[in-house]
Structure 1
Amino acid sequence: MKYELLKKIIGGILLVSLVAIGFSKPIQEYVNIPQKITLFEGQQFSLHKAVNVSAGLSADNKSIALKQNRHSVSLQAKSYGKNEMILELAGLPIKKVDVDVLKDFKVIPGGQSIGIKLNTVGVLVVGHHQIDTEKGKVSPGEIAGIKVGDIITEINGKRIKKMEDVAPIVQKTGNEGKPLDIVINRENEKMKTKLQPMKDKKEHIYKLGLYIRDSAAGIGTMTFYDPNSKKYGALGHVISDMDTKKPIVVEDGQIVRSTVTSIEKGSNGNPGEKLARFSTDREIIGNINRNSPFGIFGKLNRELKNGVMDKPLPIALSHQVKEGPAQILTVVNEDEVSLFDIEIVSTIPQKFPATKGMVIKVTDPKLLQKTGGIVQGMSGSPIIQNGKLVGAVTHVFVNDPTSGYGVHIEWMLNEAGINIYEQPREKVS
C-alpha cells in the first residue's frame, strides 16, 4: 500500500516537473522555432539556447556545419543538401528541425522606370454600343450574348490577333447577309456564338455594336533580373484592363525605358502618381510573356544598370524577412534610380505563394517630401534588407499613402520561371 502511494507521489512530482519544463521560457523559445529552416550556400543561422540544452545533426553529410557554446547554436550552410537539427534537454529530444541548404543564388536588383506595352490574346471587349440602323438602334454584340471582358479569338475560323483583323471579315460577311461564327474566351473557358452584323444607316458600314481593344500601355518599375538567364520580374502585381477591371490575358508584349517627367503627390484618400513617358528611342529592352498576380515577366535583351546597386545580391526567402529598417530602389526624377529608407512594419512567413506578404512604410524624409509616400508607378520597386533582395512594392493604402503592401521576392522568382530549389547538376567526368 505504501509502495503504491510512493509511486503515485513520484509520478505526480515527475508530471509537475514535465509541465513546468514545458512552460519554462527556454522550452517555449524552442517550440517557437520553425519546423523547417532553409538557407542558401554560405548563409548562417543562429539561435539562443539554454545552458543545459544541446544541439546535434542527425547526419554527417557536410552540407551543414554546427557550432554551439553555452548560450547559442549556429548553423553554417556549406553546400547543397538536407539535414536535421535535434535539440535535447537532459538527453531527451525537445525539438527537431529540418534544415535545407539551397545552391547559391543571386539576382541584380532593378529600380528603373520602365514603359510597358501588352498585346492581348485576341481582342478584348470593353463595352457595347448601339448601332443606328434602318430598323432602329441595336447592339448585335449584346444580342449575341457577348459580355464586357470577353476576348474574341476567332471569327469565321480565322484567328484574331489585332483590331485590324476584324473589320474586313465584318464587312464581307455583312454584305453577304450571313451571321459571324464567333469564338470567345470568357474566364478561361472557350465559348461559341453567332453574331449578325448590322449596317449603320449614316456611315453605310457594317458594325458589331462592340467596343474592342487589342493592347494596353503603362509604366512601372523593374524589380530584378537574373544575370545568367536574363529572366526578369517587374511591377509586383497583375495588370488589369482599365475598363473591365479584369487581368489582361497576354499574347506578348515589350518593355522599354521610360523617363519620369513629374510626380503627382499622394494624400489621404488620393493616391499619387508618377507621370512618365517612354524613352524617345523606343528601344525594346525585353519581352513580356506573362502577366500574373505577382507582376509581369519575360526576358531582357541586354544587361540593365541602375547606377546604385549593379552587382548581384542574395535573396531572402519569406521566413527570412524581418520587421525593421529596409530600403527601396526607385525613380522619382527623370531616369535616376535612388535608394530610399522604409520600414517593414509586418511580414508573414508564407508557405504558399501570396501577393500580400509585407506591410511597408516610407520613412525617408526626401521621398515623403517628393511623393507623399507610395505612388502609382512605384509598383515593382525592389525592397532591400540587410544586403538582400527581399521583395517588391505592390500597392499603396488609399487612406495612408505613406504605407502599402509588398510581395516576397520568392514568389516573383517562381513566376519568372526561376527555380531556386533546383538541385545542382552533377558534373560528368
Structure 2
Amino acid sequence: MPRKLRLFAVFSFFLLFFTLNYLAAAFWPVKQSLALGEWLSFNNLFPPAIQKHLVLVTADNGRGGGGQPIGRGLRFTAPGTFQARVALHGLIPLKTLVFEVRPVPRVYPGGQAVGLLLHAKGVIVIGYADVIATDGSRVSPAARAGLMVGDLILSIDGRPATSDQVVKEAICRAGREGRPVVLQVNRRGRLLRFEVQPRLCRRAGCYRIGLLIRDATAGVGTLTFYHPETRLYGALGHVVMDATTAHPVELAKGSLVEAFIQGVRPGEKGKPGEKIGVINENSSLSGTIEANTEYGIFGHLNRLPEHPLFRAPIPVALAHQVHPGRAQMLTVLTGNRLESFDVEIQRVNPFYERGRKDLIVRVTDPRLLHFTGGIIQGMSGSPLIQDGRLVGAVTHVFISTPEKGYGIFAERMVRACGLLAFPEVKPTFFDELRPSLLKAVVKYYIKQE
C-alpha cells in the first residue's frame, strides 16, 4: 500500500475515533447518581480555560429551566430523574448528563466485632473418609458414585438434609434395609442425583458412605453499619466462603452475636494476622443472618445497640463522593472496646464491577501498625469514615503488604440490602468501546508499517 494511502487510512481512523468520542460525550447520556441537596461541581470535567465559555442547559423541571454558567455548579432540591447538557456558548453540545436524584439513608457506622454462624441449605461435603469394611478392605462408596468435595447435599431419600445428623440417620436406615440412599446434590448451581450403597464400617459399627460433611460455618468479622429505622445491618463486605471447600455458603439461616476479642496475632509479610475472639453471650448485640452475598452478609438486629462514638446516624457516601485522602477506620482490638484509627484511601475505582477492589486503603495510625501490623483477618467489614460520611468497609488484606488492603463502597452494601434506591452506575457502551477502538487503530498502523 502506498505511503500516502496508509497515512490517509490512519488519519481517517483517528478522525472516526475522535468523532465517535465527541458524539458519545455530547449526545450519549452519562448517568450520575446524586444525593438530594448535594452540590455538583464541574471544575474537574473541563479545562479552566474554557469553563467561562460553557453553559449548563437544563429542561424546565421545576428548577427554573434555561441555561446558567457552569461555574455555579448544580444542585437539586427534589428527587427524580433530570437531564442537563453542557454546551459551548450554549450552542455546541459537549456533554449530556442524566441525574438520578434520591435521598441517601443515614446509618450508624459499626466497627463492633461479631461472631457469625451460617447454616447451609443442606450439608456440605468437606472431604472423604474411607469405610473399613467387614473384610478389612477400604472403600469409599460416595467417591465411587461421583460425589465431590464442595457438593451441597440438599436432600437424602426425598427428605431435606437439614443437618449432618439427619444424613447419618438416613444412611444407617438405608444400610439396615439393604438399599442405596438417593442424594440430591447442588454442584455449583447444577442439580445432580446420586445413588450410593452404604457399607457397614467395622471400626464404627454403623453404616457409612465415606464422606466428611458439615452443616454450618462459623467465623469472626466486623459489623459495618446498621439502620436505626429498620434495624437492617450489613457486615464483612464480602461473601462468606466455606473454609474447606472455598465455595460460597448457600445460606439457609444464620445468627450474629457480638464477639469478645481476646487477643491479636499481628500480620507479617506473606502471613496475614488475625483477631482471636469468642462469643460474648451476655451482649445485647445480636441478630439474624438472612443473606450471604458478594457484598457482605445482611440481616436484622434484634435490638439497636448504643454507639459509643456516634450519637446520631451519618449519611452514606455515594461512590463519586469518595476521594483519595485521610479517613478513619472503626474496629475492635481488645474486648469489645470500639476505637477509631487513621487510614489513608490511596485509590478509588468507582467502575470496578465486583466491588471487592473499589478502594485501596493504607493504615497510617502508628498504634494500629504497632499492635496488628496493619489489616488483619477479622477486620473485614470495618467501616471507613471520610468527610463525615460512611464511605466503605475494609474487605481484604494485601498478603505481601499487610498495612494495605482492599475496600468496598458503602453504596454497594446499602444498595444490596435494599436501603438505597439508586440504580448502579456502570461504564457506558462507549466507555468500554473506546480502548478497543484505539487499540485497533494502533495495531492497524503497525501492521501496515
Cα gap change, 1:54/1:297 in structure 2, threshold over 3 Å: closer, same or farther? same
Q: Secondary structure of 2:166's match?
A: helix
Contact 1:262 1:276 in 2 (8 A): yes
Letter in 1 for 2:127: G
Deviations 1:283-333 (A, max 9, x none): 671111111221111111111233112422112222221111111111112
Deviation at 1:61, TM superposition (A): 1.9
Paired position in structure 2 for 1:182: 183
Contact 1:394 1:404 in 2 (8 A): yes
Contact 1:63 1:79 in 2 (8 A): no
Letter in 2 for 1:39: L
Deviation at 1:353, TM superposition (A): 4.7
Deviations 1:355-414 (A, max 9, x none): 211111011111111111100000000111111111110000001000010011122122
Q: How does 1:400-411 map to 2 (within 5 A)?
A: 400-411=401-412
Paired position in structure 2 for 1:60: 60
Letter in 2 for 1:393: V
Report percent identity of matched pairs: 36
1:127 partnered with 2:130: no
Deviation at 1:278, TM superposition (A): 0.6
Contact 1:198 1:208 in 2 (8 A): yes
Cα gap change, 1:282/1:143 in structure 2, threshold over 3 Å: closer, same or farther? farther
Paired position in structure 1 for 2:76: 77
How many equivalent residue pairs?
A: 393
Cα gap change, 1:156/1:282 in structure 2, threshold over 3 Å: closer, same or farther? farther
Q: Secondary structure of 1:174's match?
A: helix
Deviation at 1:354, TM superposition (A): 2.6
Contact 1:64 1:75 in 2 (8 A): no
Deviations 1:253-294 (A, max 9, x none): 000011111111111111111111110337671111111221
Cα gap change, 1:383/1:66 in structure 2, threshold over 3 Å: closer, same or farther? farther
Deviation at 1:226, TM superposition (A): 1.9
How far apart in 1 are the matches of 2:100 and 2:239? 31
1:251 partnered with 2:252: yes
How far apart in 1 are the matches of 2:396 and 2:354? 17
Q: How does 1:9-408 map to 2 (within 5 A)?
A: 35-48=30-43, 49=48, 50=50, 52-62=52-62, 72-90=71-89, 91-135=91-135, 136-281=137-282, 285-350=286-351, 352-408=353-409
- Cα RMSD after superposing both structures: 2.4
How far apart in 2 are the matches of 1:288 and 1:358? 26
How far apart in 2 are the matches of 1:383 and 1:228? 22
Cα gap change, 1:353/1:243 in structure 2, threshold over 3 Å: closer, same or farther? closer
Deviation at 1:146, TM superposition (A): 0.8
How far apart in 1 are the matches of 2:99 and 2:177? 71
Query: Higher helix share goes to which structure?
Result: 2
How far apart in 2 are the matches of 1:410 and 1:62? 28
Cα gap change, 1:225/1:283 in structure 2, threshold over 3 Å: closer, same or farther? closer
How far apart in 2 are the matches of 1:282 and 1:209? 41
Uncovered stretches (5+) of structure 2, i.e. residues with no partner = 1-14, 424-449
Paired position in structure 2 for 1:12: none
Contact 2:105 2:419 in 1 (8 A): no
Q: Mean alpha-carbon deviation: is it higher for 85-94 or for 273-282? A: 85-94
Q: Secondary structure of 1:333's match?
A: coil
Cα gap change, 1:153/1:37 in structure 2, threshold over 3 Å: closer, same or farther? closer
Paired position in structure 2 for 1:7: none
Cα gap change, 1:53/1:113 in structure 2, threshold over 3 Å: closer, same or farther? same
* TM-score, normalising length: structure 2: 0.82
Deviations 1:227-255 (A, max 9, x none): 22221110011111111111111110000
How far apart in 2 are the matches of 1:281 and 1:365? 33
Deviation at 1:100, TM superposition (A): 2.4
Contact 2:57 2:87 in 1 (8 A): no
* TM-score, normalising length: structure 1: 0.86
Deviation at 1:79, TM superposition (A): 1.2
